[in-house]
A and B are shown apart, each in its own frame.
Chain A
Amino acid sequence: MTVQEIVEQLKATFGEKVGELSETLDPFLTLKAEDLLEIAGFLKDTAGLEMDFLQDETAVDYPDESLIRMVYHLFSYQHRHGIVLKVELDRAAPKVPTLEGLWPVANWLEREVWDLFGVDFEGHSDLRRIMLPDDWEGHPLRKDYEDPTEYHGISHDRPSPIDGFTRVDEKLRQIAAETAAQLAAATGEGESSEESAS
């Protein structure tokens, strides 16, 4: 089935809840957060659609529009068709129902999105950080994230030790010359001491 046909079938069932398809390379459909579970479940379980593979679930941050868009890539092994769904969330308090019940892989994918974007997943069984330490502050993939200067007293921007080094060429050359002279003298003495020992 082409994406257009899938969207037509969705429109026949859900009517107004389904918006227009975008004209990007992989066309996507924008949904409301409250309709997501119903429509995703329909895509997964309806005969003829059967999108059993949640290929990807991620987010994109748009601070200018104060939105975070969730992106879901669904695919069907049997029919070899897929669709991209997007859900627009309020950036101040992003919240969306979890898809864990439909695709267990969403458990980790959502933890990752929560960790890196701060999106809250309603009904998620184990929502905690996955990449970063439990006590990390902020969500690094947001566009306005600022790198912290330290973590538990460990500074992230210590000066380079090389900056403290100075050029000592003249002095080094002097030392080298002195050492060479001492060495020559020592070997000369060594030879003479050997002679005296014998």
Chain B
Amino acid sequence: MSQLSIQRQDAPGDDLLINFGPQHPSTHGVINLVVETDGEVITRAIPDVGYLHRSLEKIGEKCTYHGYMPYTDRIDYVAAMFANEGYARVIERLQGIEVPQQAEYCRVLACELCRIASHMIAVGTNATDIGAVTPLLHATREREYANDLLEELCGARLTYNYMRIGGVSAPVPIGWLDKLSRFLDHLEPIMIEFNRLITENEIYVQRLANIAPISAKEAIAFGLVGPNLRASGVDWDLRRDVPYGVYPDFDFEVPVGRGERGTVGDCYDRWLMRVREILQSARILRQAIEKYPTEGEFVAAKVPRKLKPKANEAQSRIESARGEMAYYVVADGGENPYRVRARTGSFAVMTIVEKISRGLMIQDLIAFFASIDVVAPEIDR
């Protein structure tokens, strides 16, 4: 039986071994950090995950291809649309299904709205972890509006399940696009207010700037993805660089960390990435509303009820709210996938915690942990 290798040292001094979480509010539920400190300075912090392991990969092998779809949203409950989309795309590749244009637009609408909702929670909880409660109230309110729209689209407010293999479950309801435009008109001034309230707040900047910087080289070596990678100065977005779906139709910017208030890749940069991505998603949504094809199919006509792809294997990569999400599926010709693998952003970012936390103060560890925006089921799956 191999145990966690760190132990209480009987050294004179202020060494302490603390269990940080799983019940601590800033560890977001079920993440445990075993922290070794010297006074208030951390000498080592080891993440201990697995409290939530729900064997979603094993379930994938036991379900049919269609039947696994509702399980995928449990991988990332804050941004479930992306997990849906990634899985649908890999099966479409295996089966050779072409998704109709209208369905692709529905997917973009659902995903970008979901990204706004997810980043709202990310910035809101980030501020709360550091001690400011008001921003979370603002952010949650805006997320509620986004959730109302998503609910109208697919009937759920948390475990959204809108994607289907070959398309989506239904086209957007009548009048929905108009509601969405009104929401966007409301959102953009709110973000200006939000920035004035918190992003430019001097106390807040002091808490985040220059804290726990991750260099571009480290970020790549540790496999960081999404906003965490971009904050480190790596100009990379799958939507733009390895485009999928109808993303080439849209014009948007990819925010990259430049160390505006401190070092490149510090907590403040990671915060800024998410605030700016909300506005970029709003921009994509506006274009999608403009270009939405009113005619066409919302699901490919030739998707068999019983999917049996030939023996083959493929991977799909999509840009989730937490960065690149890659599904790798091996088909053996049967009714169930032979192997389903989900590579998620939060799992990779946890690998760097031990390295970055060395030498941080405890308060800065919280700031760092809040800024990487992990969702527990994405780590454990």
Q: Which residues of A contact B (CB under 8 A)?
A: 24-26, 28, 52-56, 58, 60-61, 71, 73, 77, 80, 84, 103-105, 107-108, 112, 116, 126, 128-135, 140-141
Contacts of B343 in A (CB 8 A): 55-56, 58, 73
Instruction: Give bound CA distance, A93 to B220, whole Å.
Output: 32
Beta-carbon nearest neighbor of B3 in chain A: A134
Within 8 A of A (CB), among B53-67: 53, 55, 57-58
List of B residues within 8 angstroms of A53 by Cβ: 220, 223
B347 CB within 8 Å of chain A: yes
Which single residue of chain A is at the shortest CB-CB distance from B242? A80
List the A residue with the shortest CB-CB distance to B52. Answer: A131
Q: Contacts A24-B312, A135-B1; is A104 near B328 (CB within 8 Å)?
A: no
Query: Is A108 a contact partner of B326 (Cβ separation < 8 A)?
Result: no
**Chain A residue at smallest Cβ distance from B341:** A58
Q: Which residues of chain A are near B220, meaning CB under 8 Å?
A: 52-53, 77
Instruction: A52-B220, A56-B328 are known; give 16 further A-B pairs, CB within 8 A.
Output: A25-B312, A54-B223, A60-B338, A60-B339, A77-B236, A103-B221, A104-B355, A105-B221, A105-B351, A107-B351, A108-B350, A128-B5, A132-B53, A135-B1, A140-B58, A141-B58
CB closest residue in chain A, given B329: A25
What are the residues of chain B within 8 A of A56 when measuring CB–CB? 315, 326, 328, 341, 343
CB pair B312 A104 closer than 8 Å: no
> Does A80 contact B241, Cβ atoms closer than 8 Å?
yes
- With an 8 A cutoff between CB atoms, is B50 at the interface? yes
Q: Do A105 and B223 touch across chains, with their CB atoms under 8 A apart?
A: yes
Min CB distance B36 to A, Å, is 15
Chain B 347-376 interface 0/1 with A at a Cβ cutoff of 8 Å (1 = within): 110111001000000000000000000000
Q: Does B49 contact A (CB under 8 A)?
A: yes
A100 to chain B, nearest CB (A): 10
Q: Which of B295-333 contact A (CB under 8 A)?
A: 312-315, 317, 324, 326, 328, 330
Closest 6 pairs between A and B when the two form their complex, measured CB to CB: A105-B223, A25-B314, A131-B53, A131-B50, A56-B343, A108-B351
Among B55, B223, B355, residue most surrounded by chain A Cβ atoms (within 10 Å): B223
Complex Cα distance, B324 from A55, in Å, reads: 9
B313 in complex: contacting residue of A25, A54, A105, A107, CB < 8 Å: A25
Q: Say yes or no: B1 contacts A134, CB within 8 Å.
A: yes
Scan residues 15-71 of chain B and give those whose CB is less than 8 A from a CB of chain A.
Answer: 49-50, 53, 55, 57-58
Chain B residues with CB below 8 A from A129, complex form: 2, 50
Q: Chain B: which residue is nearest A53 at the CB level? A: B220
Chain A proximity of B38: nearest CB distance (Å): 22
User: Please, how many angstroms separate the alpha-carbon atoms of A81 and B141 in the complex?
Assistant: 42
B221 touching A134, Cβ below 8 Å: no
CA of A104 to CA of B222, assembled, Å: 5
A58 nearest in chain B by CB position: B341
Closest residue of chain B to A107 (Cβ to Cβ) is B351
The digit string for B172-201, where 1 denotes a CB below 8 A from any CB of A, is 000000000000000000000000000000
Q: Which residues of B contact A133 (CB under 8 A)?
A: 50
A-B contact pairs, 19 of them (CB 8 A): A25-B93, A26-B314, A53-B223, A56-B341, A58-B328, A61-B339, A73-B326, A73-B328, A77-B236, A80-B242, A103-B221, A103-B222, A104-B222, A104-B351, A108-B347, A126-B5, A131-B49, A132-B53, A134-B2
